[in-house]
């Protein structure tokens, strides 16, 4: 196995990690990334295979001791479906799917269309503005707030808590990030517990109420309900914010702004520049795959964005080309296997409606200044996206 070094916080890498991914892919099925001290996969075939291999999971079979200052964060995260494996994952996902149905998501279509139109029509017609703050952030967070049944006016606080908690998974994490994540997790949990108390008294037809009903039947613990709501709130907007921003900038750069916003275009923007670049897995047993022996508990990094740009699957992968679909392989942006993103249908819906509403109201949108990606790897999204509309 070849070894490579590349700091994930190096400014050049943050702005364009794809050349490094190309070198990783050319070096073999697995390459040791020194900076992470673990092997990583960059090809579509290997990433896809390992995502589906049940001998690798999200749950660390031998978790290390954790510092006391992180306790409040892990008190939530340890009960999250995202970090669980069967049989616990099977039980959690089955109960959440009972509430997070395609019917419930589909019923939101008129509301998402109305909200996207409202936000798009409220954007400035003159002068530059930050598309992320004005459009890409409020759209998904207000949608997930409605779906769960929490007040939309709390959206700014939800965003702040979510951003702080996600900081635990960034390559540039510091003690300050860890303290902020723990504080946010504790405050988020307290907020939800008050929401739960109110809903038990009054009742409602929303996702939280359905999860509470499942909990009262004994199929979810109170801690699992809290962790699930936080996961859905965080995952339900964080990735969509980045994808909307990345998609708008990519379409404008490719001179495709104004192209029909259909399923093919949505798949292509998800493939071309996804919001999550690496997902890790733990070996659940001693195993040898792709000429590398993993001991139980060893990690492997699966580079979703690198797999999406594998030229063996997507010719000329750096080109944003919606006509690849429906014939091309589906992007791995939502993962694969038992941890395939539960919210993928909602995310695709928000992207299609959000991009369509923006293109209809601002057909001559343009980026007004050089954009830069935030230093938030494994995630990928802009710090700001300054745009305006040509007359």
- Residue 237's pLDDT is what? 79
- Residue 187's pLDDT is what? 97
Strands 38-41 and 299-303: what pairing? parallel
- Residue 143's pLDDT is what? 92
Side-chain-side CA neighbours of 369 within 13 Å: the count stands at 12
- Residue 202's pLDDT is what? 79
Q: Which residue in 366, 373, 352 sits closest to 305, CA to CA?
A: 373
- Residue 390's pLDDT is what? 66
Gap between the Cα atoms of 302 and 48, Å rounded: 9
Q: Is 325 helix (H, G, I), strand (E, B) or coil?
A: coil
CB 146 within 8 A of CB 346: no
CB 139 within 8 A of CB 117: no
Gap between the Cα atoms of 108 and 149, Å rounded: 13
- Residue 348's pLDDT is what? 94
Beta strands in the chain (DSSP E): 3-4, 31-33, 38-41, 56-57, 129-130, 278-283, 287-289, 292-294, 299-303, 365-367, 386-389
Please tell me what DSSP assigns to residue 55. T
Q: Is 326 helix (H, G, I), strand (E, B) or coil?
A: coil
Cα three-residue angle 188-191-193, rounded to 5 degrees: 110
| The model's pTM | 0.93
CB 302 within 8 A of CB 47: yes
Average pLDDT, consecutive stretches of 10 residues, N- to C-terminus, the chain (391 residues)? 96 97 98 97 98 94 90 93 90 82 86 96 89 94 90 91 91 92 96 92 83 84 92 85 96 94 96 96 96 96 98 96 92 94 92 96 90 92 90 60
Rounded to 10 deg, the angle between the 138-148 and 155-166 helix axes is 100
Question: In a 10 Å sphere around its CB, with 0-12 CB exposed, 13-18 middle and 19+ buried, how is residue 317 labelled?
Answer: buried
- Residue 106's pLDDT is what? 86
Beta-carbon contacts of residue 106 (< 8 Å; ≥ 6 apart):
none
Rounded to 10 deg, the angle between the 207-216 and 222-253 helix axes is 150
Beta-carbon contacts of residue 124 (< 8 Å; ≥ 6 apart):
134, 388
CB 285 within 8 A of CB 55: yes
- Residue 100's pLDDT is what? 74
Q: Is the peptide bond before 220 cis (omega within 30 degrees of 0)?
A: no
CB 295 within 8 A of CB 283: yes
CB 320 within 8 A of CB 355: no
Q: Which residue in 166, 149, 170 sits closest to 82, CA to CA?
A: 166
């Amino acid at each position: 196995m070849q070894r490579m070094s590349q700091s994930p916080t190096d400014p050049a890498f943050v702005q364009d990690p794809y050349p490094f991914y190309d070198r990783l892919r050319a070096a073999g099925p697995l390459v040791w990334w020194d900076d992470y001290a673990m092997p990583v996969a960059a090809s579509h075939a290997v990433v896809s295979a390992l995502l589906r291999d049940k001998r690798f999971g999200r749950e660390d079979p031998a978790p290390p001791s954790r510092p006391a200052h992180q306790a409040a964060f892990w008190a939530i995260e340890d009960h999250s479906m995202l970090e669980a494996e069967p049989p616990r994952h099977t039980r959690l996902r089955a109960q959440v799917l009972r509430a997070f149905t395609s019917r419930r998501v589909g019923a939101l279509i008129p509301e998402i269309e109305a909200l996207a139109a409202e936000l798009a029509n409220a954007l400035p017609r003159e002068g530059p503005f930050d598309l992320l703050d004005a459009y890409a952030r409020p759209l998904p967070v207000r949608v997930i707030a409605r779906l769960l049944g929490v007040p939309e006016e709390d959206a700014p606080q939800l965003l702040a808590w979510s951003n702080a908690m996600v900081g635990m998974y960034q390559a540039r994490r510091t003690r300050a990030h860890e303290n902020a994540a723990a504080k946010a997790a504790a405050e988020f949990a307290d907020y939800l517990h008050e929401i739960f108390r109110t809903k038990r008294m009054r009742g409602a037809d929303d996702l939280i109420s359905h999860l509470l009903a499942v909990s009262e039947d004994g199929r979810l613990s109170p801690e699992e309900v809290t962790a699930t709501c936080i996961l859905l709130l965080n995952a339900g907007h964080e990735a969509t914010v980045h994808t909307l921003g990345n998609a708008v900038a990519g379409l404008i750069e490719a001179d495709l702004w104004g192209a029909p916003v259909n399923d093919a275009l949505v798949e292509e923007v998800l493939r071309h520049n996804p919001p999550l670049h690496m997902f890790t897995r733990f070996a659940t047993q001693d195993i040898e795959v792709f000429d590398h022996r993993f001991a139980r508990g060893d990690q492997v990094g699966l580079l979703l964005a690198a797999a999406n740009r594998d030229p063996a699957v997507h010719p000329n992968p750096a080109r944003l080309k919606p006509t690849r679909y429906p014939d091309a392989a589906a992007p791995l942006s939502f993962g694969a296997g038992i941890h395939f993103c539960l919210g993928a249908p909602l995310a695709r819906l928000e992207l299609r409606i959000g991009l369509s509403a923006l293109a209809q109201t601002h057909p001559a949108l343009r980026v007004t200044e050089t954009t830069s990606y935030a230093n938030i790897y494994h995630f990928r999204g802009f710090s700001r996206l300054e745009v305006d509309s040509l007359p």
